[in-house]
Structure 1
Amino acid sequence: MYELKTKETENSVIEFIENVESPKKREDAYKLLDIFTETSGFKAKMWGPSIIGFGSYHYKYASGHEGDAPLVGFSPRKAKISLYFATGDTKREELLKDFGKHTSGKACVYINKVADINVDVLKALIQQSIKFLQETYLNE
């Protein structure tokens, strides 16, 4: 059976941020912590060793694979800061057009620093992601 690596833990979010090597990334992590907490209305929790997540939902795919994941989150990684929003939401791509300097992967949006992005669009992405996931998974 597949074992999910990214699970909610009891590790300290503040301790994790304090251990981020780059002072600038650490500063951005605190800014993001404030923005995500205020916008999502959820308390920050560590998911796995390096993702700061907000809220959670239970998903189940047609394949039978299921698990729990944060509604939104971020991770101040060495190269870039990863932002986690819902995939499969068409409004995400629309919002990203006005987001600022970023690159996108399948599940992540990568930024170099908070100063590169439009914080109002970030807040809209957080709200839209939570709404989309709650409508998709919590109303089943």
Structure 2
Amino acid sequence: MSEQEGRLVVAAAIVDDLARPSRLLAARRSDPPELAGGWEFPGGKVEHGEQPLDALHRELREELGVAVEVGAEITGPLEGRWALGPGLSMRLWLAIVVDGVPAPLEDHDELRWLGPGGWSGVPWLPADVAVVEALISRCPSARV
């Protein structure tokens, strides 16, 4: 799917260490109502003419008030992307916070650091469950 065929969402799996992540930041949606209460990876839609990584940095500043260092992309089964729903797909990268303290500034009402063995311990939005499972299998330090 090209970026013109559907809306691209970019997101970050914010972890404590790019080489050996053991903690993962989850964000609980407050809006829109149909997603409220579900947990997800912070990020958002790529604007027309915007590069995906530029969008990721912008979204994380807006939503969490942080700057990040981006690590490896966690590729999904759909041409490297993850399906989010009709007309929406997501690209996701590992990232660490390099400036600021994450806070739920926009679209979220709570953030939670999930420790080893607990990455699946919140009710993730359905589209993110497969991503969490892929992250756990990729990151041995995330397991107990």
Same fold (TM over 0.5): no
Kindly name which structure, 1 or 2, has the bigger radius of gyration based on alpha carbons.
Answer: 1
Which is helix-richer, 1 or 2? 1
TM-score w.r.t. the length of structure 2 is: 0.27
Highest relative contact order (Cα 8 Å, sep 6+), 1 or 2? Answer: 2
TM-score of the aligned structures, taking structure 1 as reference length: 0.27
